[in-house]
């Protein structure tokens, strides 16, 4: 029995390869920062105009670094949640050119998953 060899690659049509427009550029950071209430979060703007937001219990942090986070290669956003004694925390970073809408959606998801103790 012989099997015909399969040609490399994949088959497609020109219509399937149509171009798309993608959201680019940092956008409006207020889409992220406006999600935090003064009742539940602390907000600090430092001397570099970097914005630091933390939950009142200190377990959540969101930082916006318009000119890039010092000591990193273009990190523009940092989101971190501190873990517990039995479950590790996590952090998420986005570069300075990540659209704020994407960061805002991530923050919204993290905030939705939280609950008061």
Q: How big is the CA angle at 26 (ends 46 and 31), to the nearest 5 degrees?
A: 70
Exposure string of 13-46, with b = 16+ CB inside 10 Å and e = fewer, is: eeeeeeeeeeeeebbebebbbeebeeeebeeeee
The answer on pLDDT for 3 being more than 60 is no
Between CA 106 and CA 58 the distance in angstroms is 19
Tokens read off for 90: 């996590």
CA pair distance 35, 108, nearest whole angstrom: 7
**53 sits in which H/E element:** strand 51-55
Q: What is the pLDDT of residue 4?
A: 57
Evaluate if residue 15 carries a pLDDT over 60. yes
Contacts of 104 (CB under 8 A, 6+ apart): 31, 32, 35
pLDDT digits (tens, 9 = 90+) for 31-60: 999 999 999 999 999 999 999 999 999 999
Q: H or E stretch including 77?
A: strand 75-81
pLDDT of residue 70: 94
85 versus 13: the higher-pLDDT residue is 85
pLDDT of the residue at 11? 72
| 24, pLDDT greater than 70 | yes
For the record, the structure tokens of 58 come out as 């200190």
**Whole-prediction pTM:** 0.81
């Amino acid at each position: 029995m012989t099997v015909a060899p399969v040609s490399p690659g994949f088959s497609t049509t020109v219509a399937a390869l149509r171009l798309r427009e993608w959201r680019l550029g940092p956008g409006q950071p207020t889409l992220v920062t406006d999600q935090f209430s003064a009742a539940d979060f602390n907000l600090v703007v430092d001397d570099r105009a970097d914005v630091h937001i933390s939950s009142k219990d200190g377990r959540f942090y969101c930082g916006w670094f318009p000119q890039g986070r010092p000591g990193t290669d273009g990190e523009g956003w940092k989101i971190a949640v501190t873990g517990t004694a039995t479950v590790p925390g996590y952090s998420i970073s986005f570069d300075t050119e990540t659209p704020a809408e994407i960061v805002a959606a991530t923050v919204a998801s993290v905030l939705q998953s939280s609950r008061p103790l």
